[in-house]
Structure 1
Amino acid sequence: MDITVRKGDTFFRYSRLFSIPEQLIADSNPGMDPQCLKIGEKVKIPGFVAKRYRMKKGDTFWKMAIERCLSPTALQTVNPDMDPQHLLPGNEIFLPKRVLNLETSLDQPYDSKRLEEEINRIAAIYPFVRVQKIGESVDQKPIWELKIGKGNKKIHMNGSFHANEWITTVVLITFFKHFLLSLTNHCFFHGIQAYSLYPHITLSVVPMVNPDGVDLVLNGPPESKREQLMKWNGGSKEFSKWKANIQGVDLNNQFPANWEIEKKRKKPKSPAPRDYPGKQPLTEPEAAAMAELAKNEKFDRVIALHTQGKEIYWGYEGKEPKEAEVLAKWFSRMSGYKSVRYVDSHAGFKDWFIQEFGKSGFTIELGKGLNPLPLSQWKEIYRDVSGILLCALLG
Structure 2
Amino acid sequence: MKVKIRSGDTFWYYSQLFLVNVQLIIDSNPNLKSSSLPVGQEVNIPGFITQQYTIKRGDTFWKLAAARHISVDALLLLNQTKNPNLLKPGDIILLPKRVTYFVVNGKIEYNSTKLQEDLVKLKEIYPFITERSVGTSVLGKPLHVIKIGKGPKKVQINASFHANEWITTPILMRLVNEYVRSLTNNYPIRGLNPLPLYHQVELTIVPMVNPDGVDLILNGPPSKMKDEVIKINKGSTDFSGWKANIRGVDLNNQYPANWDIEKKRKEPKQPAPRDYPGDAPLTEPEAKAMADLARSGRFDKMLAFHTQGKEFYWGYEGFEPPQSKVIATEFERVSGYRAIQYVDSHAGYKDWFIQEFRKPGFTIELGKGVNPLPLSQFDEIYQEVLGIFLASLYM
How high is the TM-score relative to the length of structure 2? 0.99
| Matched ranges for 1:129-148 at <5 A | 129-148=129-148
**Residues of 1 paired with 2:193 and 2:121: CA distance?**
23
Write the distance in 1 (CA, Å) between the matches of 2:280 and 2:63: 67
Give the CA deviation at 1:63. 2.0
Structure 1 residues 328-359: Cα deviation after superposition (integer angstroms, max 9, x where no partner): 11100111100000000000000000000000
| Corresponding position: 1:303 with 2:303 | yes
* Structure 1 position 139, deviation (Å): 0.1
Q: How many angstroms apart in 2 are the aligned matches of 1:279 and 1:64?
A: 66
Amino acid at match of 2:314: W
- Per-residue CA deviations over 1:290-332 (Å, capped at 9, x if unaligned) read 0000100100000000000001100000000101001111100
Superposed, 1:365-380 pairs within 5 Å as 365-380=365-380
1:182: which partner in 2? Answer: 182
In structure 2, the partner of 1:154 is 154
CA distance in 2, matches of 1:67, 1:195: 29
- The C-alpha deviation readout for 1:118-149, integer Å capped at 9, x for no partner, is 00000000000010111000000000011011
2:236 aligns with 236
Q: How far off is 1:107 after superposition?
A: 4.1
Q: Counterpart in 1 of 2:116?
A: 116
Q: 5+ residue gaps in structure 2?
A: none
Residue by residue over 1:348-392, the C-alpha shift from the partner in whole angstroms, topping out at 9 and shown as x without a partner, is: 000000000000000000000000000111110001111111100
Q: CA deviation at 1:109?
A: 2.3
Deviation digits for residues 269-302 of structure 1 (CA, Å, limit 9, x no counterpart):
1000000000111110000000000100100000
Aligned pairs, number: 395
1:102-123: per-residue Cα shift (whole Å, max 9, x none)?
0343441210011000000000
Amino acid at match of 2:126: Y
Deviation at 1:238, TM superposition (A): 0.6
Identity among equivalent pairs (%): 55
2:62 is the alignment partner of 1:62: yes
Residue identity opposite 1:345 in structure 2: S
Equivalent residue letter for 1:188: P
What residue number does 2:166 align with? 166
Query: What is the distance in 2 between the residues matched to 1:106 and 1:167?
Result: 8
Offset of 1:66 from its aligned partner?
2.1
- The SS at the match of 1:189 is coil
Q: Which position in structure 1 is the counterpart of 2:85? A: 85
Please report the RMSD computed on the Cα atoms of aligned residues, expressed in angstroms: 0.8
What is the SS of the residue equivalent to 1:199? helix
Contact 2:104/2:177 (8 A) holds in 1: no
Distance 1:369 1:194 in 2: 33
1:180-212 deviation line (CA, Å, top 9, x unaligned):
011000101111111111111100000000000
Q: Secondary structure at the match of 1:280?
A: coil
Distance (Å, rounded) in 1 between the aligned partners of 2:314 and 2:104 = 32
TM-score, normalised relative to structure 1: 0.99
